[in-house]
Structure 1
């Protein structure tokens, strides 16, 4: 059920004033109606309590909707470059919104002095300017709390990417990172190695959790030894020891970790695929393409954006859409070729 946005009348009732007084506070222009400072503060407090935002975008349609969808990302800078990892999501969002006859409101307010972008600013919630909002980006505990507050207020939200928010139903469109990682692990094992190393971040992000789960499922199904290395532990001596111990097939969570491993291994005189093999678990974080010889899987970012828009429109229509997980596409490359079987 989609909750109706608060009205000016409800603000007036909560503040104990007339709608004319609320209008005067909103317009903040000279008028025959004099509003004391105390009354103004009471009206502003009522607006904050109800989550009221004046509709400055367009006149309401008969159903009480603007056909206006918001887009908010927790990234420090709103993604506008084609080289940004999040840009294909926006392309899909724009395409679907146009096809479904909706406009977009991009919340591009820059991050604050602490580098954080927030939903709530000075007690207000600008996301309510739109009928509903698509969200992207990493969620830490503070952001999850903020998102929970938004859902409690009844604002329709769809997240792009799987996100866990205990106590709150949060519809999302995600990618099957676990299945894609499992496919990459099987592709490495098909080349003959019995030791496959996973290099990835701790469990602070759902996509990291899913990738590591896919690795562990395959390794355990084959009865093999599992080994996980965190980015902070990845140094030259660690790479030397791992190669010496026979860990010569790798699943690397992203291209940054892949380049780091390659540089460290190169300093030791080791090259792929002669001395080790690897696959990258996703598209590049920092550019449009990965080197042609790298094996990786492609994340359906554009389609995720499209599906998220359709899901949000369904939600606004009173439907209860189920979350969706889309398959990734495996892109094999020479980097998964046979690793050298030597221990030194």
Structure 2
């Protein structure tokens, strides 16, 4: 025999038990007095009555009524688990959880998959579940269609903070990002300190905001140091590509990510070139497709937990009515054996300056 389902306690039952009006119960629940101060004795009566009848507030109803649930949403365009990129997202999520706990917020993780794969949708059937939370911390790459939905969400007034700089036409999206440009300039400086004077920036064909920041940092550093540099974004890293750049005198390479680095290292090895004897290199960030970089690879470490914490604090400030300015946090340089002096033999390096192209 199926047990009879108990009826959910109501605000009316709480009000009757506490001997107060339903309006007083609502004011206690929402933390607003509507211009009338609720005496502490009344508030305690209401809380005690809630405990006795087992009343649990309907957070969705409170949100629709204009209140705050002290719930922050976390939305990622890509799956965070199970996924090959979960190790990349995990430190951000750890920082988000830590700051939310410090500020007494609960977290709502949106995990609804996209139909047919691809980026998660912000809207389904004309509505967005992100509005169940008071505001949302967002992560991940944004394509054209997703950017239009993001603009719609911002236009509807839902508070959003993005981890990473994202450009949305018509809006200044509050965000927390890493100083990728400065980190790239520092990495080039490390190559120069080892004696390299002809370098290469190897990037992916798709240029998102953080990639653009890295490339800008490289170009500015090359311009400022008067060294020889070039930017290439090939569709594929082949042995022929590697051979061509090494033959042209490139001795130091900066890779936008570890996938490009692995492709170069493999192609170079097939030609008999090993690091750091034939070339030196560094990766401009943490791994995106694996948990750890191979031993010895010099790289920039993104401040992922601090970025997560800063995003939550920024969102809480927005919910409190404060204005926000973008936050940029420094990256950490990690030394590695992939950095060494240039090979003693090879083509003579030109002395005149060449602008990267």
TM-score by length of 1: 0.80
Per the alignment, residue 185 of structure 2 pairs with: 182
Mark the CA change 1:305 to 1:283 in structure 2 (over 3 Å): closer, same or farther: same
* Deviation for aligned residue 1:227: 1.1
Distance across 2 between alignment mates of 1:87 and 1:169: 27
Per the alignment, residue 62 of structure 2 pairs with: 60
For structure 1, the residue ranges without an aligned partner over 5 or more in a row are: 1-54
Mark the CA change 1:177 to 1:169 in structure 2 (over 3 Å): closer, same or farther: same
Distance across 1 between alignment mates of 2:290 and 2:96: 20
Structure 1 contact 175–327 (Cα < 8 Å) conserved: yes
* Most deviating of 166-175 and 259-268: 166-175
- Structure 1 position 326 matched with structure 2 position 329: yes
Per the alignment, residue 345 of structure 2 pairs with: 342
Secondary structure of the residue that 2:235 maps to in structure 1? helix
Structure 1 contact 80–87 (Cα < 8 Å) conserved: no
Structure 1 contact 79–86 (Cα < 8 Å) conserved: no
* Deviation for aligned residue 1:291: 2.3
Structure 2 contact 75–110 (Cα < 8 Å) conserved: yes
Secondary structure of the residue that 1:250 maps to in structure 2? strand
Structure 1 contact 277–339 (Cα < 8 Å) conserved: yes
Distance across 2 between alignment mates of 1:140 and 1:111: 14
Structural mapping, 1:125-274, within 5 Å: 125-202=128-205, 204-274=207-277
Which of 282, 286, 305 is the aligned partner of 2:285?
282
Which of 278, 291, 296 is the aligned partner of 2:294?
291
* Deviation for aligned residue 1:108: 0.4
Secondary structure of the residue that 2:88 maps to in structure 1? coil
Distance across 1 between alignment mates of 2:213 and 2:204: 11
Distance across 2 between alignment mates of 1:101 and 1:203: 39
Distance across 1 between alignment mates of 2:301 and 2:58: 40
Which of 98, 101, 115 is the aligned partner of 1:98?
101
Count of residues paired in the alignment: 289
Distance across 1 between alignment mates of 2:113 and 2:66: 33
Q: Deviations over 1:226-253 (max 9, x none)?
A: 2112141421111111111111200001
Structure 1 contact 202–208 (Cα < 8 Å) conserved: no
Distance across 1 between alignment mates of 2:118 and 2:132: 24
Distance across 2 between alignment mates of 1:57 and 1:91: 25
TM-score by length of 2: 0.77
Structure 1 contact 93–302 (Cα < 8 Å) conserved: yes
Structure 1 contact 92–305 (Cα < 8 Å) conserved: yes
Distance across 2 between alignment mates of 1:203 and 1:210: 13
Secondary structure of the residue that 2:136 maps to in structure 1? strand
* Most deviating of 200-209 and 312-321: 200-209
